[in-house]
Structure 1
């Protein structure tokens, strides 16, 4: 079990890195704004007080290290997803990784962003309160597809 968790952590970190590299490409090629992990850090900081949902995370009390906390949380969640995947698929998949389970899991993980993080930040369910929710949703699905591909690619590297 520990071996599955250790490999899952590596797979999750690699997939999160793939997602971050995708964001760099979107910024360089398509002029998309860089991800800002500070609001996520502020949101995680306020979880200690039991506060999950905010009207606007920008109005919540700032935390001095929120950008660092946001990056840490981003990778911690990606690592947790990698561990969950390996525990679900088991050692046989790790020995010979296939794309489908990783890709499907990558897409499933978008639900946490749509139904927990985005409403928690005050952006509404699935970014419904943003100026262009369908664009945000499409970008989320693309990023989580890249995350799924990253899960698979990293699993292939360590197999």
Structure 2
């Protein structure tokens, strides 16, 4: 596989995997503590209003609904995760995906909280870093924890993809560790 194709495939696998880990974290919080997660229909509604020239709302939940907003939101959610994985690999190189380490994944995961704090929340009517919500500190902490889970997901997904994308030669070497000339 050429390196450009490998980059795209790994970014897709790592980004989708990390986003799934973040979603599992949200599901855990919902089931264990009754903490609701973001309704991705709102993300889809926000995006679906772009062609109409509407990029910010007083309250996204009260904005007119758009047919297909839920799938639009979910596709965008996973696409954004893939873009962030590509960004990680763009900064640390494709070798990071081949031999992942935790720190870059956590750094990128935590830095992704900038998008909701300074783009999505203000555009949804929640203010910068949820400043207009009833409990901004709680909302910020949840956002940080969610994006930390995304960082952990980047690392876990990269480890899994590193195992899946290993060459046959690498698999043979690991199976016969005593003889590095195999």
TM-score scaled by structure 1?
0.95
1:91 equivalent in alignment to 2:94: yes
Backbone CA RMSD of aligned residues: 1.2
**Structure number with higher relative contact order (C-alpha < 8 Å, ≥ 6 residues apart):** 1
**Match for 2:112 among 104, 109, 112?**
109
Runs of 4+ with deviation above 3 angstroms: none
Question: Residues 34-92 of structure 1, C-alpha deviation per residue, up to 9 Å, x if partnerless?
Answer: 43111111001012233222111133221021111111111111111111111211122
Select between 117-126 and 32-41 the one with higher mean Cα deviation. 32-41
Contact residue 53 and residue 122 of structure 1 kept, 8 A: yes
**Match for 1:3 among 6, 11, 16?**
6
Tell me, which stretches of 5 or more residues in structure 1 are unaligned? none
What is the CA-CA distance between 1:148 and the residue it aligns to?
0.3
Partner of 1:129: 132
- Supply the distance in 2 between the matched residues of 1:56 and 1:34 (Cα, whole angstroms): 17
TM-score scaled by structure 2?
0.83
Tell me, which stretches of 5 or more residues in structure 2 are unaligned? 163-182
Q: Which has the larger radius of gyration?
A: 2
**Match for 2:33 among 27, 30, 34?**
30
- SS of 1:48's equivalent in the other structure is helix
Q: How does 1:46-85 map to 2 (within 5 A)?
A: 46-85=49-88
- Supply the distance in 1 between the matched residues of 2:152 and 2:117 (Cα, whole angstroms): 20
Contact residue 5 and residue 86 of structure 1 kept, 8 A: no
Count of residue correspondences: 159
1:138 equivalent in alignment to 2:141: yes
